[in-house]
């Protein structure tokens, strides 16, 4: 057996696609936020803000039905502070774009390389939405809202684990000893 083992291919899901798309926005040039909340009713899968405060949003869609459902969301009629908007989709969805996508939106194809890792490739360049720079106050609010949302999720996760342990302990104590 070889000392070098072939790496296991990465699963294609929302998290791994976000990680792949982040490669398009190097941290030396952009502030990157995953699952960014700049309003409580508005969440971006990946939000990248350039040092000059221009923003790009990447919305990840893993299935065609999810992509179609996204078009009905209010956020597409209420965009603010965006220079570019992209949909990131797996290779098998490229060319199957649902009707009604704004022609100004770009498409990022996420494909699996020969090494098993996921890589992004711009399939369709977006047009400049010309919605202006992101005000510093929105960046700060978005950072705090994202931070608090992640803390809330962590708290809920811990509470769920605690409740599961309690149920398991109750079940173990109710079993008759032999």
pLDDT at 78: 59
Which pLDDT value is given to residue 10? 67
Average pLDDT per run of 10 along the chain, which is 178 residues long? 50 89 88 73 83 91 90 68 91 90 93 91 92 81 74 77 83 72
pLDDT at 120: 95
Residue 21: per-residue pLDDT: 93
Q: What is the pLDDT, as a whole number, of residue 125? A: 95
**Residue 160: predicted pLDDT:** 83
Q: Strand pairing of 55-60 and 42-50?
A: antiparallel
Domain ranges within the chain, ordered by starting residue: 14-170
Q: Do β-strands 84-90 and 106-112 pair in parallel, antiparallel, or remain unpaired? A: parallel
Residues 49, 25, 85: CA angle, nearest 5 degrees: 60
């Amino acid at each position: 057996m070889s000392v070098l083992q072939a790496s296991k291919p990465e699963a294609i899901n929302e998290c791994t696609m976000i990680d792949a798309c982040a490669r398009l926005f190097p941290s030396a040039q952009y502030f990157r936020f995953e699952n960014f909340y700049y309003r409580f009713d508005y969440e971006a899968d990946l939000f990248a803000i350039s040092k000059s405060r221009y923003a790009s949003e990447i919305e990840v869609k893993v299935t065609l039905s999810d992509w179609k459902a996204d078009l009905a969301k209010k956020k597409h009629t209420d965009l603010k502070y965006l220079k570019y908007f992209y949909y990131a989709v797996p290779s098998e969805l490229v060319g199957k774009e649902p009707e009604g996508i704004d022609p100004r939106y770009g498409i990022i194809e996420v494909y699996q390389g020969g090494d098993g890792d996921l890589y992004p490739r711009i399939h369709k360049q977006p047009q400049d939405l010309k919605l202006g720079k992101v005000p510093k106050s929105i960046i700060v609010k978005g950072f705090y809202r994202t931070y608090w949302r992640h803390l809330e999720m962590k708290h809920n996760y811990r509470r769920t684990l605690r409740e599961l342990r309690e149920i398991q302990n109750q079940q173990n104590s109710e079993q008759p000893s032999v």
